Structure 1
Amino acid sequence: MRTVGIIVEYNPFHNGHHYHLQQSLKITESDAVVAVMSGHFLQRGEPALLNKWTRAEMALRGGCDVVIELPVAYSTQAAEWFAYGACALLEATGVVDALCFGSEAGDIAPLRRVARLLAHEPESFGRLMADELRTGASYPAAYSGAVRAFMAAADDQEAAAFAFEQPNNTLGLHYLLALERLGSAIEPFSLRREKAGYSQTSITDAQIASATAIRKLVAESASPEHAAPFVPPSTMELLLRDHAAGRGQNSWKQYAPTLFHKLVSESVSDLGGYYEMNEGLEYRVKRILPKLGDIAFETLLEQLKTKRYTRTKLQRAMLAVLLGHRKELLAPDRLRSGIQYIRVLGYSPRGQELLKRMRKSAKLPILSSAASADGMLPYLELDIQATSAYALGWKDAGPRDLFRDYYEKPITI
């Protein structure tokens, strides 16, 4: 059974995701799909619209066979560690033959050449990065500029002209870097992203819209039904189900009171110990808090944002404060060796067969719930805490919601 791996957030699962999934099977000539999916908090430093079990069910009903959770230690990271954690999980299953990701370019050849040269970051690349950062550029912009300069010096003009700053191209490069660093035999493929950009808020097609645009549509409507043209019927059914239960529209708004309490009650030195609180950001936060016009997350971001402190960086920093993620927990050495388990969120009948193979071939223990772990693993503990924090965004959350990781079995269809 040839198997393709995909790396997803499904926030929520929409028609563009369904197209990517079907095309991934086709171009890799695979029979089954293993999806590594972010849990309750996402790569741009945001809470997911829907909880991870609902989104796993969306994935399974949309055509995935096994859904594995990307631990929160990686799911809320910038591209390098997000990609590394996800690829390390796919590699650890022992059953994944190919990886297929979407990109703005759709052309994997320049990305592969860059990945082979940069996998172990030559000193010359580090110097180029330092030069770019000294200009005041944000880290993503500096990284793209350094890659272009490095490839120009290597006389690869095609790669030097590549649009590395586009978000899916960036992620794609980091997937390939991760596979190189892991020494993985997984074969990479890329599909061109069509009709809707990654963070495009406007809707320009009758059936395809970005997840960002769909979330905006849901947030501005009394009911998720307005998103129906852009999502499969199974997604709409689950959107309506969770919406009716009061659990279908999570955003930063629900978590702002808890965040502000921590920001005002902790000292500058305590704030400085949180992950992503770098370059004096903790001092900037403390200076700005008394000057805010209102106590709202969006107001805080607008006041904090600069050329260096991008919205995404700020959201990740605020999320680290909310979740209590300290710098020492997420140091590079710990992240490099931190994948210690494979957490299965759900599976299909074909996925059940895959799981049988995985139990023989996997390089890590396979968990069906937190209760099945042999002792508490550091990053699993962060996942459990993330579930509790996420559930506190619901008005009627109970103890079972807060500790659902111990009770919930994998979703099956």
Structure 2
Amino acid sequence: MTAVGIIVEYNPLHNGHVHHYNEAKRLSGAEHAVAVLSGPFLQRGEPGIVSKFARAEMALAMGADLVIELPAAYAVQPAEWFAYGAVSLLHATGVVDSLCFGTESGSLDLLLPLARALSEESQELRERIACHLGEGMNYPAAYSRAAAEAAGLPREESDVLRIIQQPNHTLGLHYLIALNRLDSPIRPLTIPRIHAGYHDQQPSHAAVASATAVRKMILEQGVAAVRPYVPETTFRILDREFREGRGPVTWNSFRGALMHILLTSSPENLAEYHEVTEGLEHRLRKAVFSLKEPNVDELLKALKTKRYTHTKLQRMLAQILLRHTKREMSPGALAKGPGYLRVLGFNGKGQRLLKQMKKTAALPVIVKPSSFEHPQLTLDLRASAAYANVFPHPDTQSMFRDYLEAPIRYTPGNETGALP
């Protein structure tokens, strides 16, 4: 029994993701595919346009056999911890043989030796990062520069700077670093991203668009506009979710909840939350009072500086919204890794994988969250409830779905009706 792992967000799943899945199966030769899927909030600090359950259903409809949730503690994090959490889950299953991810180049030639050099974050590397932050760089630029220097590459115009500052290369590098740190036997594979750049706002191909472009079309033109760019199953799931009042969800869906926290918290209170660093608690208060209306997009614009990326600020707001503290998200806490394998859904082949995992898994396999306790799971369940609370037509069934319903048992053709 062989299985390839894929680490995904599917916000939403589109034709480019189908290409990645097909290539992952082809390159690995695996019989099964295991997807680690982010929950309600994603790596760049954004909420999913539809729920984790709908996105898990998209993955199963595409062909994934088993979908495992990446805990919120790792899902809304910089590349290092996002990758470490996701790779740790695949490693802990005991059934995944390979990991396939997309990169801009489709090559591991430079990433593999660089990952080996960076697998142990030395004191020297940390000092170099701190030095470049002190020069006014944002964290991604400071890390890239320090990594290039630590690897002995030229300071200016080095390939490593160009490569690891690209979004998929950045994640790919950290997947490889995580594999090294875990001493995992999982074999890394990569494929080149095709037709659409990560941040492309508009489609440049008849059938492939970035998730960013797909979301933009949904919000501006309606779900029918994205039909050429997504599998038919994804289209039906999106259409069903929107018709039944479970989306689309955007950052501004949370403006009331977020503004309540910001308006009723002192700077000292805000400083306790993860990602609120370097005096940002004071900048937050000033930015809130400068707004003409309570709008998250406008708040992000008011907060933006050269030092802080848009992504960093979004993640900070997500951590505040979810009330994730610095103590809960400390490097020491995160380094312990996820504490469980939470199953979101599976098909018939995935059910056989789960049976095998009972013998091989290094972590508890959770199909009923109500019967298991863990601090990370508590954060996951709170995040799901908070997410469902802002649906256009919220209901308590959706808010407490984690407790009330079993994982999705996917059968083809079920996307237009109620979930199993």
TM range (shorter): over 0.9
Give me the whole-angstrom Cα distance separating, in 2, the residues matched to 1:161 and 1:278.
Answer: 25
1:185 has 2:164 as partner:
no
- The one-letter amino acid paired with 2:382 is Q
Give the secondary structure class of the aligned counterpart of 1:101.
strand
Residue 405 of structure 1: aligned partner? 402
Aligned residues: 409
The superposition leaves residues 128-159 of structure 1 with CA deviations (integer Å, 9 ceiling, x where unpaired) of 2122212211101111111122223599x986
Are 1:38 and 2:38 counterparts?
Answer: yes
Aligned to 1:240: 239
Distance 2:396 2:328 in 1: 26
2:226 aligns with 227
Residue of structure 2 equivalent to 1:390: 387
CA distance in 1, matches of 2:89, 2:215: 28
Deviations 1:319-359 (A, max 9, x none): 11111111111111111114111000011111111111111
Aligned partner of residue 204 in structure 1, secondary structure: coil
Residues 341 and 365, structure 1, Cα contact 8 Å, conserved in 2: yes
Q: How does 1:1-400 map to 2 (within 5 A)?
A: 1-153=1-153, 160=160, 162-221=162-221, 223-373=222-372, 376-400=373-397
* Aligned-partner Cα distance in 1 for 2:158–2:266: 49
Match of 2:381, SS state, is: helix
CA offsets per residue over residues 307-328 of structure 1, 9 Å max, x none? 1121111111111111111111
2:160 and 2:336 map into 1 onto residues whose CA distance is 32
State the alpha-carbon separation in 2 of the partners of residues 292 and 240 from structure 1. 34
Question: Is the 2:84–2:337 Cα contact (8 Å) retained in structure 1?
Answer: no
Note the C-alpha offset of 1:162.
4.9
Distance of aligned partners of 1:5 and 1:202 in 2 relative to their CA distance in 1, 3 Å threshold: same
Task: Supply the AA of the counterpart residue of 1:383.
Answer: D
Return the alpha-carbon distance in structure 2 between the equivalents of residues 310 and 293 of structure 1. Answer: 23
Give unpaired runs (5+ residues) of structure 2: 411-420
Separation (CA, whole Å) in 2 of partners of 1:369 and 1:338: 21
Query: How well do the aligned residues superpose, as a CA RMSD in angstroms?
Result: 1.5
Distance 1:241 1:293 in 2: 35
Q: Shift of residue 11 of structure 1?
A: 0.5
Tell me the secondary structure at the aligned position of residue 324 of structure 1.
coil
User: Aligned pair in 2 of structure 1 residues 390, 36: CA closer, same or farther (>3 Å)?
Assistant: same
How far apart, in 1, do the equivalents of 2:356 and 2:158 lie? 41
Residue aligned with 2:40, SS: coil
What runs of 5+ residues in structure 1 fail to find an aligned partner? none
For residues 225 and 7 of structure 2, the distance between their equivalents in structure 1, rounded to whole angstroms, comes to: 27
> Counterpart of 2:376 in structure 1: which amino acid?
Y
Letter matched to residue 407 of structure 2: P
Distance in 1 (CA, whole Å) between partners of 2:195 and 2:287 is 39
SS in 1 for 2:110: helix
Which deviations, in whole Å up to 9, do the C-alpha atoms of 1:236-277 show, x marking residues without a partner?
Answer: 010110111121200011100110111011111000001000
Q: Deviations along 1:32-73, whole A, 9 cap, x unmatched?
A: 100000011100101100101111110000010100000011
Separation of aligned partners in 2, 1:359 and 1:113: 35
Contact preservation (8 Å) 2:115, 2:173: yes
Amino acid at match of 1:314: L
Cα offset, 1:400, TM superposition: 2.3
Q: Percent identity?
A: 45
Q: What's the CA shift string for 1:266-317, capped at 9, x where partnerless?
A: 1110000010000100000112222212211111110100011211111111
Asked if the contact 2:144/2:161 (under 8 Å) is kept, the reply is: no
Indicate conservation of the 8 Å contact 2:247/2:391, yes or no: no
1:358-406 per-position Cα deviation (integer Å, ceiling 9, x unaligned): 1110001111131231xx2000000010011001111432222221111
Q: Secondary structure at the match of 2:67?
A: strand
Query: 1:219 & 1:401 partners in 2: Cα distance?
Result: 22
Q: Which SS does the other structure have where 1:109 is aligned?
A: coil
Cα distance in 2, alignment partners of residues 210 and 272 from structure 1:
35
Q: Name the amino acid aligned to 1:63.
A: G
Distance 2:400 2:312 in 1: 29
The one-letter amino acid of 2:399's match is L
Distance in 2 between residues matched to 1:282 and 1:92, nearest whole Å: 37
Deviates more, 1:31-40 or 1:364-373: 364-373
How big is each residue's C-alpha offset from its partner over 1:53-99, in whole Å with a ceiling of 9 and x where there is no partner?
A: 11111000001010000001100111000000000000000000000
| Aligned-residue offset at 1:161 | 5.8
Aligned to 2:41, the other structure's residue is in SS state coil
Q: Retained in 2: the 8 A contact 1:242–1:248?
A: yes
| Counterpart residue number, 2:417 | none
The TM-score with structure 1 as length reference comes to 0.96
